[in-house]
Structure 1
């Protein structure tokens, strides 16, 4: 079994989530499973993979272009199993509360099994001017708002689904 975990990340936080998901999958799937990690911009042909986990940081309510393009490139021939995640809400309480624009369309186009939104990480020192203005408007303090136990639970759920036999195929093939 081959799985690709890919993400579009502007400042590294979403890439860390993708790497973490890959680590959980490697630790919970059978030892012969191969779990690769890549930047979303590198995702072109996924036909050699049985599953894809694709994520993106969310800025201004949208997935990054690299992730949207990756999803578009695989629309015609997605792997058997696809999961999507978004990273972005920050603060306490988390803001914004809306789902990222266009994600429901992406879920449909790649026939994703699930889409999750995970809280993000904010370090103003790493932001550009427009990003700083947006954060100021939201009135959010710096911090790492990612819930690693929630991410672990989702990765475990993915692993559990991947261990299930494929319809029409005997177990172990």
Structure 2
């Protein structure tokens, strides 16, 4: 059994729901798991392994995720770390957007003291009711799709794969 932290940065709750699902899969596999927002500043030094996830907006992962990694970089040294991003670019259907989306975990991974054990990108969801007016305007301008595009089978598969690697 490994003591695992699943840390996340979210705005509308989508990344949190994916982090919670990953935490549940790891718990089912016998790991002790804490799922905590980076806003609550969990200390990764208290864990044997860490997953960090962030939503994406305007081509960047959320700043609080990068800040948390920067502050706690030393606490991640010599630990297995997995990185995931959540974005709507995964549902765009065109190869350029898919390629761009595949690079988002790298924005977090570049802050790590070593290479992550795994990275991935999950499709997210967009509900304008959970966003500020300016975020809704930006989403309209770039024609963000509305709806829930989370692929729970993909989340479960990644969680199961990590369970055996942590």
Q: TM-score, normalised by structure 1?
A: 0.82
Matches within 5 A, 1:46-57: 46-57=44-55
Return structure 1 stretches of 4+ with deviation > 4 angstroms: 100-103
Q: Report the counterpart of residue 62 of structure 1 in structure 2.
A: 60
CA gap 1:107/1:15 in 2 versus in 1, 3 angstroms? same
Which structure has greater helix proportion?
A: 2
Q: Report the counterpart of residue 170 of structure 1 in structure 2.
A: none
Q: Report the counterpart of residue 101 of structure 2 in structure 1.
A: 99
In 1: Cα distance, 2:37 partner to 2:134 partner: 24
Q: How many residue pairs get matched?
A: 159
CA gap 1:109/1:127 in 2 versus in 1, 3 angstroms? closer
Matches within 5 A, 1:131-150: 131-150=135-154
Question: 8 Å contact 1:7–1:18 — kept in the other structure?
Answer: yes
In 2: Cα distance, 1:133 partner to 1:6 partner: 29
Q: CA deviation at 1:69?
A: 1.0
Q: Which moved more, 1:107-116 or 1:7-16?
A: 107-116
Question: 8 Å contact 1:123–1:143 — kept in the other structure?
Answer: yes
Matches within 5 A, 1:1-173: 1-29=2-30, 33-78=31-76, 80-90=79-89, 91-93=91-93, 96-97=97-98, 98-99=100-101, 103-104=105-106, 106-110=108-112, 111=114, 112-162=116-166
CA gap 1:121/1:105 in 2 versus in 1, 3 angstroms? closer
CA RMSD of superposed structures (Å): 2.2
Question: 8 Å contact 1:61–1:100 — kept in the other structure?
Answer: no
In 2: Cα distance, 1:131 partner to 1:150 partner: 27
Q: Which moved more, 1:35-44 or 1:102-111?
A: 102-111
Segments of 5+ residues of structure 2 without an aligned counterpart are: none
Segments of 5+ residues of structure 1 without an aligned counterpart are: 163-173
